[in-house]
Structure 1
Amino acid sequence: MGDPERNLAWAPVGSPADLAGALDRVGYLPDEGIATAAFLALRLGRPLFCEGEPGTGKTSLAVALAAALDVPLIRLQCHEGIDFTQALYDWDFPRQLLHLRALEAASDTLDADTAERSLYSRRFLLARPLLRALEESPCVLLVDEVDRADDEFEAFLLEVLGENAVTVPELGEVRATVPPLVVLTSNRTREVHDALKRRCLYHWLEHPALAREVAILRRRLPGLSAELAGQVAGAVRRLREVELLKPPGVAESIDWAQALGVLGRSELDAESAAMTLGAVLKYREDAQRVVAAGLDRILAG
């Protein structure tokens, strides 16, 4: 997708380490695999397809890349039933109608062809995320939770990403001068088609290692002690080993540590964990399962 040299024009990053440093400076702590995958997406001009459990930082990666590269972030949130008018463009029908009435009021001899051409001008076009990304690039285009869309939308997305251009029948072709950096995310609620994956570089995001999660907690919560950060990160890792409906991600780790701080707790013991369990577990069944398994045992490892 696109010419690598043109991509380098707006993303002059010399190595995965350079990109890791840029991400670190905006508050995202990548591991070597993430930094390398994102670097290759930049250099090769290919979309980056990120899969992983919820809470592993897929969306945050796209946000951090936009900040690190100092370009806009444009987000397309996928959902069941999404179609091209929600993703690409639509016409502002209420404004078109008002415009037509104004033309009729201003002239008794309104030419139909002239009126129609004025209705389908750029001023009445509502650019949705995909069109905005083509027009405003260089940018980071985040196609979030693509696994929630249907097969027809995947095929449409494949065509747009393959060409970096779309045709608006009334206006002509819109082509990106510099292809956007595209990050697609999936929670794997269903398998995405191979044709789309073949267009992309692929990276599976795991939950962070213990030391990295501690570093993330202390970066996001500067007043958090190393001891409490380690206790929270360790407890969350053990919670992920329990059969839960929604294992906690990094966001829940941060919420838990923050809740403990607000309550003035300096350590994670059974009492403080029971009081704040709702910050890390978001389903009643998960909380019941953890309590039944023994909160003391989980905290003690």
Structure 2
Amino acid sequence: MPFASIDELQAALAEHAYIADRSLTTAIFLALRMEKPLLLEGEAGVGKTEIAKTLARLLDRHLIRLQCYEGLDVSTTIYEWNYARQILQIRMLESQGGEAIKSIFSPEFLIKRPLLQAIEESLVRPPILLIDEIDRADAEFEAFLLELLSDWQISIPEIGTVRAANPPIVIITSNRTREIHDALKRRCLFAWVDYPALDKELAIVRARIPDADAHLARQVVAFVHELRRLDLYKLPGVAETLDWLTALVRMDQTALVQDVVEDTLGAILKYQEDIAQVRGPQLAELLRRVQGNG
């Protein structure tokens, strides 16, 4: 365990530009100490995936990412055979009079997918395994994952069983578009990652974009917080705050101006209906509030 205390971990995360509150830091600390997967739920763009990336940098570990989607199967998550290469090998061996069947089912013909990579790498040094947006995958994938998280081994019929010497550090994220099965949750520690308070988001912005004008950064964060009070189809996350501020910095802005805000709404709002709702009188009112509080 590289960190002696929760405070030490929190400080280390901050040094790597990830501002985590006490409860989230505690969940990460316990996941590392107990060697249990950490399930992070919350809205898109609040920094769940970034936790895995930051831990990889912080611990100097390889990050292996499995991006989930509907229809995941063994060939996309564990392994598949390189059929084209196998066919070429068969033809070559037949021309030489050799025996093809045994030789083509060996590790050199195996295409390793993220879960097998994580187990194999753990034999040397456990990597960070990020299972991203598991709510997009099918329930069948969850059922398979239960077995893997329990035993940390994979059986390949033609080769044998590959076991993890030490389990990888596992971060599972969900945007909660559907409920995750209780059986999977029981195998994990859990943390909810919410939209940050204004002061915390301002600290995140300053850590990630230190060259931004301080007045502009405060206005941007305040404006995004005002947007989150509206009845929008998709509220902007921290990722959108950072993207928007970066865009404004590249445009050499030092304060929010209505014309520039209107032109750059696509950096923070991703649906035309939301942009249309915010433009015009609503935008002017939001800017008045932000400038009045600034």
TM-score (norm 1): 0.92
Can you give the 5+ residue segments of structure 1 that lack an aligned partner in the other structure? 1-7
Tell me which residue corresponds to 1:23.
13
TM-score (norm 2): 0.94
Tell me which residue corresponds to 2:25.
35
Q: CA deviation at 1:277?
A: 1.3
CA distance in 2 between partners of 1:161 and 1:84 (Å): 15
Say whether residues 1:126 and 2:115 are aligned partners: no
Secondary structure of the 2:279 match is helix
Q: Aligned partner of 2:275: which letter?
A: A
Of 241, 244, 256, 1:256 maps to: 244
Change (3 A) 1:94 1:56: same
Tell me which residue corresponds to 2:43.
53
Q: CA deviation at 1:300?
A: 2.9
Tell me which residue corresponds to 1:5.
none
Secondary structure of the 2:93 match is helix
Tell me which residue corresponds to 2:102.
117
Tell me which residue corresponds to 2:76.
86
Q: CA deviation at 1:292?
A: 5.7
Q: Aligned partner of 1:32: which letter?
A: R
Q: Which runs of 4+ in 1 moved over 3 A?
A: none
Q: CA deviation at 1:123?
A: 0.5
1:112-191, aligned counterparts within 5 Å? 115-137=100-122, 138-191=126-179
Secondary structure of the 2:212 match is coil
Q: CA deviation at 1:164?
A: 0.9
CA distance in 2 between partners of 1:300 and 1:168 (Å): 63
Change (3 A) 1:293 1:33: farther
Q: Is the 8 A contact 1:99 1:119 kept in 2?
A: yes
Can you give the 5+ residue segments of structure 2 that lack an aligned partner in the other structure? 290-294
CA distance in 1 between partners of 2:203 and 2:250 (Å): 20
- Counting aligned pairs with the same residue, the percent is 50
Q: Number of aligned pairs?
A: 286
Deviations 1:5-26 (A, max 9, x none): xxx3xxx221122222222222
Q: Aligned partner of 1:131: which letter?
A: L
Deviations 1:172-203 (A, max 9, x none): 11111111010000001111110001100010
Tell me which residue corresponds to 1:4.
none
Say whether residues 1:72 and 2:62 are aligned partners: yes
Secondary structure of the 1:76 match is strand
